[in-house]
Amino acid sequence: MAQWEAVIGLEIHVQLATQSKIFSAASTAFGAEPNTQACAVDLGLPGVLPVLNYEAVRMAVMFGLAVNAAVSQRCVFARKNYFYPDLPKGYQISQYELPIVARGQLEIALGDGSYKVIGITRAHLEEDAGKSLHEEFADSTGIDLNRAGTPLIEIVSEPDMRSAKEAVSYMKKIHSFVRYLGISDGNMQEGSFRCDANVSIRPAGQKELGTRTETKNLNSFRFVERAIDFEIARQIDVLEDGNEVVQETRLYDAVQDETRPMRSKEEADDYRYFPDPDLLPVVIRPEMLEEIKQQLPELPGEKALRFTQEYGLNAQDAENLVLSKEAAEYFEQTARNTNAEAKRVANWVTGELNAALNQDDLEIASSPVSSSMLAKLLNRIEDGTISGKIAKDIFRSMWAGEGDVDSIIESKGLRQITDTLEIETLVNQVVRENPAQVEQFKSGKDKVFGFFVGQVMKITGGKANPQQVNRLLREKLK
């Protein structure tokens, strides 16, 4: 079998978190009654003129600066012409030859400790379309234009990715960037962050690209991974059967877990772009650029570096924490309020907390265990009141809303037993009651030692201090 190589590029659409639309003063709030936020400009009524929103420009520029891209001093809006009922003007205002953000780049972690730089071809500003509702009426399509005119940036990558995993890492990185920058809520269910994947296959080592397909509107990381994996396997099958890949647009069906060709008109690609005469060129002056530069927050890379320096975390832990801005903030607030080592805090945030959030499908902002609650819990491990194992039980109790750490320790009697005399009594009892195991141990079976530790822990419900139990058992069995 020939060795095939997949080549992947992504187009990511990000809704910008402005109050009003890109070219009109209607609200962009999600979830309003249909068409109550679609004004004359959004409806494309005769005689209206688009007026550009400063905030949309500022956010796009901010993104460009964050990915070290060249931000254009002068950019131009163009009309992308096609007919679809959720696009009332008959064209979408977008950018073509002179986008606001030119070439940039982003480094992604490959998970094996290595890194890869993904090129960003461009990012341009455009307006979103409305929504078509096909299901609700027998012979008609319902149109809701509330979303029409919501500002988007479309971020186009170079075909630099070679696997679905790389594509997902890149998409997650872009997602974390827009959240850090505060330019989008990144909400994928509501469509604020969605992606089209261009996939082609070529024999490994070949320079020319194979014929590509474009899979549209992927709105979760999992779907992106699955759709790309499906496309790679499908295209390899097509090529190995001696056929050719057809250049086409496809849709991913999550239920069937497959991609299918979109049954739409073939000439749809002929967009006949031209500069929009309703909009003048946008000039971004050096002062404006400088002002926006000053507003840039600490980005994931810088934050990870600071975490290794300030808290002594290793690079991997730091990388994991900064993936989400909220997780990074949660970590820092906890670390500041506890005597526990930062490494332990990091383990709890990426371990117990993360697992509990995933299980209940919650965002960190709505975690039932706040950073100050976690800090107190870790303090109780640190001062010897509880063991790490009991702490995990208490964490689950706090998660279930049973109170704070100290009240749970009191009400459940979970205080660690550190009284040497008390532990010694238990050690003696366990040794006395298990003469056979004592024989085994004395004849050289070291493994039996664990049995004795386990017995003491069992009697105390895990509350005995493990270090003391170990020490006293060693002395007793010597």
Partner 1 sequence: MPVSLEEILKISHLARLHVDPEEAGQYAADLSSILAWVQQMNKVDTRGVDPMAHPLDACQRLREDKVTESDQREKFQAIAPRTENGLYLVPKVIE
Binding site for partner 1 (CB under 8 A): 18-20, 24-27, 33-40, 43, 45, 51-57, 74, 76, 81, 83-85, 97-98, 132-134, 136-137, 139-145, 251, 262-264, 267, 270, 272, 275, 277, 279-283
Q: Based on CB atoms, which residue is closest to partner 1, 58 or 463?
A: 58
Q: What is the SS3 assignment for 101?
A: strand
CB of 231 to partner 1, least distance (A): 19
Beta carbons within 10 angstroms of residue 441's beta carbon: 19
CB of 302 to partner 1, least distance (A): 27
Q: Based on CB atoms, which residue is closest to partner 1, 76 or 102?
A: 76
Strands 74-75 and 282-283: antiparallel
Q: Based on CB atoms, which residue is closest to partner 1, 74 or 336?
A: 74
Give whole-number Cα distances, 237 to 159, 197, 215, 242, in Å: 21, 19, 18, 9
Q: CA-CA distance, 457 to 436, in Å (whole number)? A: 19
CB of 64 to partner 1, least distance (A): 17
CB of 84 to partner 1, least distance (A): 7
- Quote the strand ranges of 206-283, DSSP E: 213-218, 249-253, 258-261, 274-275, 282-283
Q: Based on CB atoms, which residue is closest to partner 1, 144 or 225?
A: 144
Q: Residue 13, Cα to own-chain centre: how many angstroms?
A: 15
Tokens, residue 261:
């060709």
Pick left, alpha or beta for residue 136 (phi over 0 → left; psi -120 to 50 → alpha; otherwise beta). alpha
Q: Based on CB atoms, which residue is closest to partner 1, 101 or 143?
A: 143
Q: Are 201 and 235 in contact (CB under 8 A)?
A: yes
Q: Based on CB atoms, which residue is closest to partner 1, 43 or 477?
A: 43
Q: Based on CB atoms, which residue is closest to partner 1, 33 or 446?
A: 33
CB of 292 to partner 1, least distance (A): 13
- Which of 381, 375, 380 shows the shortest CA–CA distance to 337? 375
Helix (H) or strand (E) holding 162: none
Q: CA-CA distance, 288 to 292, in Å (whole number)? A: 6
CB of 155 to partner 1, least distance (A): 21
CB of 401 to partner 1, least distance (A): 38
